[in-house]
Amino acid sequence: MTGALIAATLLAWMGLDGAAQRRAAAGRPAIDKEADRGSATFAKAAGAGGLLLGVLLARWLPSLALPGGRWVWVALGLPVAWAGIAIRVNAVTTLGAMFNPLVAIHQGHVLVEEGPYGFVRHPSYAGVLLLSLGIGLAFANLASLVAVVGLRLAGYIRRINVEETVLAEGLGEAYARYAQGRARLVPGVW
C-alpha cells in the first residue's frame, strides 16, 4: 500500500508538471542561444537513478530503516512531497513562456523576479528537491533517503552551474543584480 501511495504521488507530479510545462511552451519565444550542455539529461538521469537506487536500497538494507513504523514516514514524507510538487508547478507557471526544459536564452528574454523567484533563484529545482526529500522519507530508509536526495541534488548542482553561466552571459547586469539578492535553492543557505 505504501508503495502505491509513493507511485501515485510520482505519477501526479509527472502529470501536473507536464501540464504546466505544456502551458508554458505554448507562448515560448524562439531560442536565441541554447547552451544546455547536457545538463537537462544529466539532471533527469541523476533523479531517476536516485529513485531507482532508493527503491533498491530500501529492500537491500532493511537494517537502515528509519525508527518507528513505515506509516509514520509515509505520513510525514508524502505531504512534504506534495509541497514540493506545488512549489515546482508554481515556479513553472510563474515563468510561463520563459520556462524551457533546456538551458536557453530566448528572443526578448525577460528576467522573472516575482512569485517564488522573489525568494530563490531556482524555485523549480527547490520544489523537486523537496519532492525528493518527501519520497526519500516515505521509503523509511536512511540509505534510500540519501540516494534519492543526494543524486537529485548532484544533478541540479551541475545544471544550476550551467544555467547561471548562461543567464549571466545572456542577461548581463540584470541577472547579476538579481542573483546578488537571492540564494540559489534555500534562502540564507545556498
- Contact at 8 Å (CB) between 118 and 86? no
> What's the pLDDT at 177?
96
Residues whose CB is less than 8 angstroms from the CB of residue 48 and which lie 6 or more positions away in sequence, other chains included: none
User: Could you tell me which of 75, 185, 89, 106 has the C-alpha nearest to residue 66?
Assistant: 75
The number of angstroms, rounded, from the C-alpha of 43 to the middle of its chain's C-alpha atoms is 9
Give the phi and the psi of residue 120 in degrees, each rounded to 5: -140, 160
Give the phi and the psi of residue 152 in degrees, each rounded to 5: -60, -45
Domains of the chain: 2-180 (1.20.120.1630)
> What's the pLDDT at 1?
77
- Contact at 8 Å (CB) between 174 and 111? yes
> What's the pLDDT at 27?
85
> pLDDT tens, position by position, for the chain (190 residues)?
788 999 999 999 999 999 999 999 998 999 888 899 999 999 999 999 999 999 999 999 999 999 998 999 999 999 999 999 999 999 999 999 999 999 999 999 999 999 999 999 999 999 999 999 999 999 999 999 999 999 999 999 999 999 999 999 999 999 999 999 899 999 989 9
**Quick check: pTM over 0.85?**
yes
Nine-digit cell at 139?
521509503
Name the amino acid, one letter, at 178: Y
Instruction: Identify the residue whose cell numbers are 509527472.
Output: 14
User: Could you tell me which of 75, 63, 85, 80 has the C-alpha nearest to residue 16?
Assistant: 85
DSSP 134: H
